[in-house]
Amino acid sequence: MKRRGESLENIQANSFDVCVIGGGATGSGCALDSQLRGMTTVLLEGADFASGASSAATKIIHGGVRYLEEAVRRLDPAQYQVVNRALHERIHMLHNGPFLSRPMEFLIPCAGWFSVAYMGFGMKLYEWIAGKDSLFPSRFLSKTKTLERMPGLSPNHLMGSIAYADGQFDDARYNMGLINTFVAASGEALNYARVVGFTKDASGKLQAAEVEDQWTNRRFTVRAQRFVNATGPAADTIRGLATPGIPTRMRLSKGAHLVLPLEVFPTRDALLIPKTDDGRVLFAVPWFDRLLIGTTEQEVTIHDELYLSKGDVEYLLHHINRYFKTTIRAEQIVSGFAGARPLVSAAGSHDTKNLARDHEVEVDARSGLISIMGGKWTTHRAMAEDAINAVQKSLGRAATPGVTLDHPLSGSSGYTPEYWQSLVRDYKLPEQTAGHLSQKFGANATKVLQLAKEDPALAAPIVTGFAPLRAEIAYCARNEMAITIEDVLMRRTGLQFYSWRAAISAAAPTAAILAKELGWSPEFERSSAEEYRRKITRLIELAGLSAEQLAAADSN
């Protein structure tokens, strides 16, 4: 990827076929599809790439067990359509980003034979819908087998479990993978470029986007023939900028996760609780030696700040502890995160947990804005295909088929599941570091390691005892448009997801390398590190925890 300044210049100097607004999963998928179909495409992201819902997911590539249940119980074709689409998309997501995703077995604990029969039948149906794209067959596991696989599960009221397959992925890195692949196909992408208005031609059609550079506060215009609104939770804001007064469509549902050391519930499989007392789904999923527990569901607005609250912690622990042999305490949490699911309102539905996760493409006849709304991570590729079909139609061009179905993401070529071993052998890396680099960067890991070879200071870990290397900071500043400490620690290296305590320690070394790469003044370097530490400390406090508790829990 080019440096940000260079991209900014190119974007201002050119006019594009398509301008995609929003650099989450949906927008990045749209930009890639559009560029690969031969249309010159620019992607504008108002904050950092993947900084919205697309890095706050449960990180599961799934059809949606609950949506299937809703589809059957309510005979709801919309819910069925979501499950069907997602189950067929699942396999492509796994194939296109092999280093960022993997199949995973999920266990659903069952208390009696009725629940075994009910869930067993449901998962067979799930498999049947997936058809040839099924991952592996679901089956019943006895109580003994279930406890062998999940020794931390409470044996009380346990008859056994239904095991079924879905996928798991690294959402923030998958999002970066889409952007990197788009840019490698000669697309232009810019982060911290917020669309704040539009200019229109005499007939009212959008001609250019007014963009505010969030880094310099400077405004500029981006010209394109068509504009795709892929801003997820903010879709109504962009729709309103294009056509003031247009009725709103989006409903937002906050979901929060807490992160714990995997030792609290050692498992290689994920746990799915299909229904809590208040009718929600809970997951406990192993994630890079951590355990993610989520998620809550609470309706919010675009103005609400999103974070793991003390209430979320209490809710999640209260429900999950019913299934665990040893009670998990809040003090054991090492980090957490929250995001807002962008749902399109369906007539007659008021409860966000009953809104279909299907997507909708809206072509605004007045302004020509094409909005792609709703959906989920698993269906981002199909959503993008539908949106770009609509773009071609509105341009009056013959529809050309999308080519993203089997288009590998940057870093996939040359990657195999044993790739990490070559890093251990060729670069004398510890296994933990090699595993981390291959799972975050795929075959591009050698480019990161080349920087460490050229400057041995970059070969050290960012924080002693944790896998990410200092070379990743320089690599991401040069190649992935990382320009803040959070860009690096949260979305590029994942250290902030992994440990709030490590993230605080990482602030100063990250700022120092970014300062060198991006030409920051010593004062800016110091204040950036300080501001980032304050931000993480606040997240810890909002979750009802303290830095001292974290230090005790997180003894990596």
Using the rule CB under 6 A, is 234 a contact of ligand FAD? yes
d(CA 353, CA 297): 7
Q: Are 306 and 212 in contact (CB under 8 A)?
A: no
Using the rule CB under 6 A, is 194 a contact of ligand FAD? yes
Q: Closer to ligand FAD by CB, 378 or 433: give it.
A: 378
Q: Are 30 and 242 in contact (CB under 8 A)?
A: no
- Binding string, residues 357-376; x marks residues near ligand FAD by CB under 6 A: ------------------xx
Using the rule CB under 6 A, is 25 a contact of ligand FAD? yes
b vs e for 153-176, b when ≥16 Cβ sit within 10 Å of the residue's Cβ? bbeeebbbbbbbbbbbbbbbbbbb
Q: How far is the CB of 192 from ligand FAD (least distance, A)?
A: 9
Which residue type is seen at 361? V
Q: How much of the chain is in helix, strand and coil states, percent to nearest 5?
A: 45, 20, 35
Using the rule CB under 6 A, is 250 a contact of ligand FAD? no
Using the rule CB under 6 A, is 4 a contact of ligand FAD? no
Using the rule CB under 6 A, is 93 a contact of ligand FAD? no
Using the rule CB under 6 A, is 63 a contact of ligand FAD? no
Using the rule CB under 6 A, is 490 a contact of ligand FAD? no
Q: How far is the CB of 481 from ligand FAD (least distance, A)?
A: 13
Cis peptide before 295 (omega within 30 of 0): yes
Interface residue with ligand FAD, options 4, 17, 22, 96 (CB under 6 A): 22
d(CA 229, CA 238): 7
Using the rule CB under 6 A, is 295 a contact of ligand FAD? yes
d(CA 336, CA 309): 9
Question: What is the SS3 assignment for 389?
Answer: helix
Using the rule CB under 6 A, is 494 a contact of ligand FAD? no
Using the rule CB under 6 A, is 129 a contact of ligand FAD? no
Using the rule CB under 6 A, is 378 a contact of ligand FAD? yes
Interface with ligand FAD: number of residues (CB under 6 A) = 39
* Residues in 302-341 at the binding interface with ligand FAD, rule: CB under 6 A: 339-341
Q: Which of 333, 253, 325 is nearest to 293 (CA)?
A: 333
Structure tokens at 555: 């003894």
Interface residue with ligand FAD, options 63, 255, 442, 494 (CB under 6 A): 255
Q: Closer to ligand FAD by CB, 45 or 554: give it.
A: 45
Q: Which of 112, 168, 103 is nearest to 136 (CA)?
A: 103
Q: Please identify, among the stretches 21-29, 260-268, 443-451, 484-492, the one whose residues bind ligand FAD according to the rule CB under 6 A.
A: 21-29
Q: Closer to ligand FAD by CB, 84 or 549: give it.
A: 84
Interface residue with ligand FAD, options 227, 323, 377, 415 (CB under 6 A): 377
First-residue to last-residue Cα distance in the chain? 33
What are 343's strand-pairing partners? 251
Q: Closer to ligand FAD by CB, 340 or 507: give it.
A: 340
Structure tokens at 78: 């919309």
Q: Are 292 and 285 in contact (CB under 8 A)?
A: yes
Residues near ligand FAD (CB under 6 A) are: 21-27, 44-47, 51-54, 56-60, 62, 194-195, 230-234, 238, 255, 295, 339-342, 375-378
